[in-house]
Amino acid sequence: MLKIVEIDHLTVKYPDVKALDEVSFSVNKGDFLGIIGPNGAGKSTLFASMLGLNTKYEGSIKFFGQDIRKSKDYLKQIGYVPQKPIFEKNFPATVKDIVHMSLRDESNKNKIDEVLQQLWIHELGNRRIGELSGGQQQRVFIAKALVNDPQILILDEPVTGIDQQSIELFYSILRELNSKQKITIIWSSHDLDAVNQLANHVACLNRTLFFHGVSDEFFENDELVKQYSEASMQEHMHHH
């Protein structure tokens, strides 16, 4: 098994809070990893650190065997889908423009149509991004992340505020990208059922990593699932 991501004793301290505390795990090529954890668990901090956006951390992060502090080359192999950004209705860019902006090599322009087709949004190519539904916009952002043929796709809570039908389509697209194109997926989600159905590995994060392993091992362990549910319930009550 080829380890393409290795996180070792990752600790991130903000002035008031330790967002990540000695987090260690690795991801093998072809894995579909679901990262679950309540709000404030450190998921965004983890992604920001992996993407080189947060450099104030202790411990180490390696992609393809190389420390990310030494070279940013690994970023070319990553497609990142952020939490759903919201566009003004009149934002002056079409779907094709949005995907084109990410294209690194102009000689691969045909890749734009290819990814739009793959995500079932080809017929929307000339529409303004702001006119699209949340689910359609989300697929545009996946297309944008895929246009440079990345080996790894990182997605941060990407179904918030999207209708059920679009969520189902989104999940089937993720499944296909992983199984047919062998893209390694690292995906944070609140949806335990979806993680159970899609991911083959689970990382359960709440500042510390309290589980990492194959997903069956997590979901067959009632005690762990219960702990997670309690953690998310407390966090829910905290906010309401």
- Give the binding-site size for ligand ADP (rule: CB under 6 A): 11
Rounded to 5 degrees, what angle do the CA atoms 115, 49, 76 make?
35
Taking the complex as a whole, the smallest distance from the CB of residue 44 to ligand ADP amounts, in Å, to 3
Q: Return left, alpha or beta for 239; rule: phi > 0 is left, psi -120 to 50 is alpha, else beta.
A: alpha
Q: How many CA atoms lie within 13 A of 182 on its CB side?
A: 3
Q: Return left, alpha or beta for 52; rule: phi > 0 is left, psi -120 to 50 is alpha, else beta.
A: left
Among residues 10, 19, 50, 186, the one that binds ligand ADP under rule CB under 6 A: 19
Taking the complex as a whole, the smallest distance from the CB of residue 19 to ligand ADP amounts, in Å, to 4
DSSP secondary structure, 119-164, as one string: TT-GGGTTSBGGGS-HHHHHHHHHHHHHTT--SEEEEESTTTT--H
Please name the residues in contact with 98: beta carbons below 8 A apart, sequence gap of 6 or more.
129, 140, 144
Interface with ligand ADP includes 17 (CB under 6 A)? yes
Taking the complex as a whole, the smallest distance from the CB of residue 74 to ligand ADP amounts, in Å, to 21
Contact 186, 155 (CB under 8 A): yes
Q: Closer CB to ligand ADP, residue 17 or residue 214?
A: 17
Q: Closer CB to ligand ADP, residue 12 or residue 115?
A: 12
Q: Closer CB to ligand ADP, residue 52 or residue 130?
A: 52
Taking the complex as a whole, the smallest distance from the CB of residue 45 to ligand ADP amounts, in Å, to 3
Spatial separation of the C-alpha atoms in residues 17 and 6, rounded to whole Å: 24
Question: Which stretch in 14-22, 72-80, 106-114, 210-218 sits in contact with ligand ADP by CB under 6 A?
Answer: 14-22
Taking the complex as a whole, the smallest distance from the CB of residue 24 to ligand ADP amounts, in Å, to 17
User: Which positions from 31 to 70 touch ligand ADP by CB under 6 A, shown as an x/- string?
Assistant: ------x-xxxxxxx-------------------------
Residues of this chain that interact with ligand ADP (CB under 6 A) are: 14, 17, 19, 37, 39-45
